[in-house]
Structure 1
Amino acid sequence: VSETAQLSANADEARIQALREELEKLRQRSLLVEDQEPFDGDLTLPDVSYIDNWCNEVDSVLGDPVLSASGNLQSQLSQANSRIGKFEGDLDSARCRIDDELGDLEKMMADCDSLLAKMRE
């Protein structure tokens, strides 16, 4: 076996070993990912209505109209979260329309450049 063939075989073995190590790292990483709980995207707040009910009861016992009229904080937070979701949807929709418009403008610019190049010929 020539020295060049031996060097080539050694290089191939080193590459194969490196690929095996990389494959093992990827397997380990995939196992870590599989073990993780997926995020379901639910950003709702936990149910704390029992605290709200207790606060309302304490407020009514104390007779403080300012505290009694504070409303349901959970409901207000839920409504705010809902509005945020709507705003995000509106922003995504606007972003898509802007991207479409930019695509049209880029196409028109390319057409103009093409016409300008033909006029210069």
Structure 2
Amino acid sequence: MGILMTNTDESPFAAAHPGDGEKWRAALAPMCPDCAFPVYAVKDGRFPKHVGAHDGFIITGSPASVNDLAPWLDRLFGLIREAVAAGVPLFGACFGHQAIALALGGAVEDNPGGWVFGTITTEVKAPAPWMEAGQVRQ
């Protein structure tokens, strides 16, 4: 399982704590102690050579916006489309799921109410074929 690290926070606070790659490894290792979880700092231009070399990818969170014009984002979106075309599973956390949505043709917009941390109730208005219309998610 490859970990695509997108966190652009380079503040002193972030530097004093484990990075996102280390946190995801620590969370996953007990479930699969013999598995490798290579971390790719995609925000620094470090990408896996072949998507098929991994059983799946986790795309981490980030304070960056998927709507930024950073060159690494174009590469990330291409990798996402390549992984989907190859049937390689993806999991996105926060920024990661926004990147998946945008790469696959969705839209990501600023919340007029500002940042939200935690859970909110959402309603599916225009479902994808695999969704049920009118679902409420909490």
TM tier, shorter chain? under 0.3
Report which structure shows greater RCO (CA 8 Å, sep ≥6): 2
Question: Computing the radius of gyration over CA atoms, which structure comes out larger, 1 or 2?
Answer: 1
Greater share of residues in helix: 1
Greater share of residues in strand: 2
What is the TM-score of this pair, normalised by structure 1?
0.21
What is the TM-score of this pair, normalised by structure 2?
0.19
